[in-house]
Chains A and B, each alone.
Chain A
Amino acid sequence: MYRNHIYTGSRDRTIRVWDIRTYECLQVIGIPEALANDRMHRAHPNPNNAQPDFTEGTQVKLNLPGEPVPAIYHTPRIYHDASILCMQLDDEIAITGSSDNTLIIWDIKTWQPLKRLEHHSAGVLDVAFDKEKIVSCSKDSTLCIWDRATGNLLQKVDSHRGPVNAVQLRGQLVISASGEGCARLWNVGYERRFNPYNGQYEATADTKLVKEFWSHERGLACIEFSDDGKYVLAGGNDMMIFKYDALTGTEFPRMTGHKALVRSLYLDEASGRIISGSYDSSIRVWDLHTGEQTMCFPAWTTSWMLSAKSDYRRIVCTSQDSRALILDFGYGVEDAELLES
């Protein structure tokens, strides 16, 4: 970790790597047509994506047609040939899920693909993993448990009745949010045993349902687990954020305020802040303990908020208007660079 990068995945079938300090695009990984698409987009900007006047940051330095291909464009051996819907990374690998029904494991340093995971029959909507296992959820209303070491499919869980939009993992506990309006807590039961017959370690998963958390009446789009697994946060088409006690299943007062579907949730437990992005194109900040809204950033993008993440000084969110937005609370603060890891 600690490379000071921002990674975005888009419907334009590319993954882009940005520098968090200079806001420069460092890498474009994806389809071979990425450069051509970018040039086309540059030459004929989409009139629907009107850029606000206060736009800052830098743009990709694009060469004119006929000039050599910039080094930042990179088409790997295997790549997603559809929208990149989800991404998760740690200090070794990154895993992306796509509408082409597959997941790809990448080496985070070189962005070379390591393995493609193929089993889902619909778009992979979310992915979560730790040192042992990978959990992916799909529009085909299934969860798949994979072994991280080998990439083998360990178990397929298909008890959801709707598309599984989000998944989160804490140790052996997995929580998944479905379009049917139900969040389910699972115990994965991952085990790794030595097989004396072939002399190899074999992983097994025995997933059992622990608890169900139901939304108000509509589907859930996003789910978040607190670090200690004590709270479950969920948001969806009810335009509110639900908070449940993971042990007892009791529901805390709902956080209302969004005017449209809550598309993404992120919990920064160190500061007790919940970041939510919504289809009303606003980013809202909530207090984890009181459930009150502390901040609202409406209309900073021209379209839906699709994803939002945060750390101690910034919110990074992405929008349907093909942009990523950094809300930097440490901009211009003296000595703020000392805090960087």
Chain B
Amino acid sequence: MHYIDDITSTPPLHGDITNETTHNTRFSQRFATRHRSALLERFGSAPSSTTSATSNTLPDQQRPRTLSNTLKRNADTAAPRRSSRRSRALQRENPASQSFSSTSVNSTTEGNDAPRLQRGFKKMRSMFLRASRDPTTPMVWQPIPSSHSDYASSSSSPPQNVVARPSSSSDSAHGAATVTPGAYLHVVPQHIQEQEYPAASIIATQPATIERSPSPFPDNASYLPPSMYAFEPPSGGSAARAAAASANSRKKVERKDSQTLVTPPMEDLYGRENRESGIVMSAEHSRVRGLRSRAQSQVKGMNPLEILPAEISAQIFGHLDAHSLAQVAQVARAWYSLTLDSHVWRQVFLKTWQAAERSNPLPLMVGGKGIGSQEGFDQSWAAMYRARKQINTNWSKGDAMAIYLNGHTDSVYCVQFDE
């Protein structure tokens, strides 16, 4: 089956769903295609082989990316019967989804949809205005591929209505001059509009400001999805928007499925916190939560210095002062053993006691600096720190030992010493 092949050729995102009952399969199809649309949006190329094998009527650069599948399917002569049969079956099974997709698609119900279209245009207008305020905001909206398939199979109109990249000359084969109002809105650069969209109805209905607003992607046409009003108006971050839109639509479909079909309730399946993730978890909810909580607890109790080499840890500890280093040594045995590294205490000691040399040439020094010999690397810097600290305490207390040097027989006028 073409569609199934098409869909399952993508890597199975959740393998246990695809092999189950029909509605599950259908759901997985829908989800997978929508998910693929998000992937397309994110990575720019479809992971499946169908996209690469699309018709070469349009150059790849100019072709709207997400429409290529639909084009391929509708151009395929073998597919339509099956797909129409399938969509009809789908409509029979799931009238909600039919109404969900027919609003945007059916050309036969065009006249009845006038107020709804008005609403859609209003919504689109606000979106365009919002987008035009920030010209850097990409205005790419993804059509939902499953809706495409529904639309393409259920409606008798050929896909020419949908195709909307008029800049290339080969587009005449698809007859892209007309755009079905409400179905797909095509924003074209102004020069192209003037040349090749003389009588497009969409232009007549849109305010002039919208046409003048520069398209952020002049080479790439932007499309409104058919069920536009089911989405929140995008404002920024196309990938996030697409993901949110697909999640929204998926949620909607899930609810419908859960109402019409005898399935376990989706809320139980996916859980409240899973709705945003965009990945359907088939595992049991409590089990998932248990896994996650365990993972979280592991993250909380993780020793960040475990994954660092000892030299890096020593470097980090060396930036502490002595008091903090003593506190760090009490955190864990591993940390304590790290603080025993003489390099750590060397850094701390020298940072505390090594005076900056502020003159050139150095003044003649009297006495020692009290920072050790600076030659061996195996000095016990922690003990030196303790000794230096004790000496400073003695200084502050005035606690000195007096030693007299007897030998001179008269006044001693001058003294020098070194150490």
| Interface assignment of A10: CB less than 8 Å from any CB of chain B | yes
Distance between Cα atoms of A327 and B386 in the complex (Å): 20
Bound together, the chains give a CA A266 to CA B363 distance in angstroms of 13
Taking a contact as CB atoms closer than 8 A, the residue among B369, B404, B413 that contacts A56 in the complex is B404
> With a CB–CB cut-off of 8 A, which chain B residues contact A151?
none
Taking a contact as CB atoms under 8 Å apart, the answer to whether A333 and B391 are in contact is yes
Give Cα A62 to B371, complex, Å: 37
Q: Mark A249-268, 1 if CB is under 8 A from B, else 0.
A: 00000000000000000100
Contact with B along A11-51 (1 / 0, CB 8 A): 11010101010010100100000000110110000100001
Give the CA-CA distance A310 to B418 in the complex, in Å: 10
Q: Is A142 an interface residue (CB 8 A)?
A: no
- Of B360, B366, B380, B383, the most chain A CB neighbours within 10 A belong to B366
Q: Is the CB of A338 within 8 A of B405?
A: no
Give bound CA distance, A229 to B357, whole Å: 12
| B393-409 interface bits toward A, Cβ cutoff 8 Å, 1 = contact, 0 = none | 01110111111111111
**In this assembly, does A152 line the interface, its C-beta being within 8 Å of a C-beta of chain B?**
no
The one of B388, B406, B417 that contacts A59, using a Cβ cutoff of 8 Å: B406
Q: Are B417 and A84 in contact (CB under 8 A)?
A: no
Evaluate contact between A229 and B359: CB separation under 8 angstroms.
Answer: yes
Inter-chain contact B402/A309, CB cutoff 8 Å? no
Chain A residue at smallest Cβ distance from B355: A270
B365 at the interface (CB under 8 A from A): yes
Contact of A5 among B355, B399, B414, B417 (CB under 8 A): B417
B403 in contact with A56 (CB, 8 Å): yes
The residues in A between 303 and 341 inclusive whose CB is less than 8 angstroms from any CB of B are 303-304, 306-336, 338-341
A8 touching B370 by the CB < 8 A rule? no
- How long is the Cα–Cα vector from A2 to B394 in the complex, in angstroms? 24
Whether the Cβ atoms of B365 and A328 lie closer than 8 Å is no
Q: Tell me whether A60 and B355 are in contact in the complex, defined as CB-CB below 8 angstroms, given that A10-B413, A310-B367 are known contacts.
A: no
Complex CA–CA separation, A97 to B358 (angstroms): 29
Proximity string of chain B (136-176) to chain A, C-beta cutoff 8 Å, 1 when within and 0 when not = 00000000000000000000000000000000000000000
Q: Which of A222-280 contact B (CB under 8 A)?
A: 225, 227-229, 266, 269-271, 273
Q: Is A85 an interface residue (CB 8 A)?
A: yes
Q: Are B386 and A335 neighbours in the complex by a CB distance under 8 Å?
A: yes
CB <8 Å contact, B416 and A228: no
Q: Check A66 for interface membership: any CB of B closer than 8 A.
A: no
List chain A residues, Cβ under 8 A from B413.
9-11, 83-86, 306-307, 318
Q: Which residue of chain B is the closest to A16 with respect to CB atoms?
A: B407
Q: Is the CB of B417 within 8 A of A20?
A: yes
In A67-123, the 8 Å CB interface with B consists of 83-90, 94, 96
Which residues on the A side are within 8 Å of B412 (C-beta)?
A: 8-11, 306-307, 318-320, 322-324
Q: A269-B355, A330-B387, A339-B388 are in contact. Are A322 and B410 (CB under 8 A)?
A: yes
Q: How far does the Cβ of B86 sit from chain A's closest Cβ, in whole Å?
A: 86
Whether A59 lies near B407 (C-beta < 8 A) is yes
Contact A323 B402, beta carbon cutoff 8 Å: no
Which of chain B's residues have a CB closer than 8 A to the CB of A7?
415-417
Q: How many chain-B residues does the 8 Å CB contact rule pick out?
A: 54
Docked-complex contact B401 and A328, CB < 8 angstroms? yes
Contact count A vs B, C-beta below 8 Å: 270
Interface check B419, CB cutoff 8 A: yes
Interface assignment of A150: CB less than 8 Å from any CB of chain B: no
Partner of B405 from A25, A227, A304 at Cβ < 8 Å: A25
CA distance A85 to B414 in the complex (A): 6
In the bound complex, CA of A307 to CA of B383 (Å): 33
Residues in B neighbouring A269, C-beta threshold 8 A: 355, 358
Chain A residues lying within 8 Å of B398, measured Cβ to Cβ, are 295, 297
Report the bound CA distance from A318 to B362 in whole Å.
Answer: 26
- What CA separation (Å) do A119 and B355 show in the bound complex? 39
Is A63 an interface position by the 8 A CB rule?
Answer: no
A339 touches B371 (CB 8 A): yes
Within 8 A of A (CB), among B321-372: 353, 355, 357-372
Given the interface pairs A170-B359, A309-B415, A318-B414, the reply to whether A297 lies near B407 with Cβ below 8 Å is no
Q: Which of B211-236 contact A (CB under 8 A)?
A: none
Taking the complex as formed, is A157 at the interface, i.e. its CB lies under 8 A from any CB of chain B? no
Are B364 and A130 closer than 8 Å at their CB atoms? yes
Interface hits, B68-124 → A, CB 8 Å: none
Report the minimum CB–CB distance from B12 to chain A (whole Å): 67
- Cβ of A1 within 8 Å of any chain B Cβ, yes or no, is yes
Which of A87, A225, A270 touches B416 (beta carbons < 8 Å)? A87
Chain A residue contacts of B205, Cβ below 8 A? none
Q: Is B56 part of the contact surface with A, judged by Cβ < 8 Å?
A: no
Cβ-defined contact, A12 with B380, below 8 A: no
Residue of B364, B367, B383 most packed against chain A (CB within 10 A): B367
* Best-buried of B360, B398, B399 by chain A (most CB within 10 Å): B398
B411 interfacial contact with A, CB 8 Å: yes
A6 nearest in chain B by CB position: B417
From B370, which residue of chain A is reached at the shortest CB distance?
A312
Judge if A3 is at the interface, Cβ distance under 8 Å: yes
User: Is residue B297 contacting chain A, with contact meaning CB distance below 8 A?
Assistant: no
Judge whether A332 and B406 touch: CB under 8 Å: no
A89 adjacent to B364 (CB under 8 Å)? yes
Which of chain B's residues have a CB closer than 8 A to the CB of A273? 395
Q: Chain B contacts of A321 at CB under 8 A? A: 411
In Å, the complex CA distance between A223 and B63 comes to 88
In whole angstroms, what is the CA distance A266 to B414 when docked?
12
Q: A325-B404, A339-B370 are in contact. Are A320 and B416 (CB under 8 A)?
A: no
Q: Decide: B394 and A333 in contact? CB cutoff 8 A.
A: yes
A312 to B355, CA, bound (A): 11
In the bound complex, do residue B365 and residue A1 qualify as a contact, i.e. CB atoms below 8 Å apart? yes
A79, B185: Cα distance in complex, Å: 108
Q: Which residues of B contact A11 (CB under 8 A)?
A: 408, 410-413
Contact B390 A334 (CB under 8 A): yes
Bound form: Cα–Cα A69–B284 in Å:
101
- Flag if B414 contacts A8 (CB, 8 Å): yes
A65 within 8 A of B: no
B residues 244-284 near A (Cβ < 8 Å) are none
Residue of A nearest to B371 (CB): A339
* Complexed CA–CA distance, A273 and B355 (Å): 13
On whether the beta carbons of B402 and A56 are closer than 8 Å, the reply is yes
Contacts of A336 in B (CB 8 A): 387, 390-391
What would 8 A/B residue contacts be, using CB atoms closer than 8 Å?
A83-B410, A89-B364, A90-B364, A227-B363, A311-B369, A325-B405, A333-B387, A340-B373
Inter-chain pairs besides A94-B416, A314-B400, 13 sampled, C-beta below 8 Å: A1-B365, A7-B415, A8-B408, A18-B405, A38-B409, A58-B406, A87-B416, A96-B414, A171-B360, A171-B361, A307-B415, A328-B402, A331-B400
3 tightest Cβ-Cβ pairs between the two chains A and B: A311-B367, A312-B370, A270-B355
